[in-house]
Amino acid sequence: MTVTTTGLSAALQSLGRVLDARRRPGVSTGQWRWRVRQEMAAVRDALVAETGSGADGWTAAREGSVLRERNSLLARIGTLGSQVLEHPDPGVVHVELQRLLVDVGHHAQRLSDLAYDEVELELGGSE
């Protein structure tokens, strides 16, 4: 699986900072919504950049699972994208975005674990 977890991590950190800005004085709801949409696009782009390695072997099933998870996260981002701008209660959207942030973070960890296991397999592991 080819992915730049650095890009995904940076996008997640940026989205987290913007989500936290909702509570700061001087940030209007409209500004906050627009910045969240921009940062969600960066997370989406980082997820879309993931590609499978097409590896055979014991990591192939895990890679398929990670790709399905990625597709599910992309669908959630698509659904939340319109809600960010249109939902009457930004607090409700904020909670859903916080959940998304955690779930994408877990996804990034699974990607790192998979990449590590693929390298370990190529090098022969600890045998």
Domains and their CATH numbers in the chain: 5-123 (1.20.120)
Sole residue written with tokens 């969240």: 36
Query: For residues 94 and 35, is the Cβ–Cβ distance under 8 A?
Result: no
Specify the DSSP class assigned to residue 109.
H
pLDDT at 126: 53
- pTM, rounded to two decimals: 0.83
Q: Quick one: residue 77, left, alpha or beta (phi over 0 = left, psi -120 to 50 = alpha)?
A: alpha
98's CB contacts (< 8 A; 6+ apart) are: 19
Q: What is the pLDDT of residues 76-120, one digit of tens each?
A: 999 999 999 999 999 999 999 999 999 999 999 998 888 787 776
C-alpha 46/C-alpha 50 separation (Å) is 7
pLDDT at 70: 95
Specify the DSSP class assigned to residue 62.
H
Q: What is the pLDDT of residues 24-72, one digit of tens each?
A: 888 899 999 999 999 999 999 999 998 766 565 667 778 888 999 999 9
Q: Is 42 buried (19+), middle (13-18) or exposed (0-12) by CB count in 10 A?
A: middle
Q: What percent of the chain is modeled with pLDDT above 70? A: 82
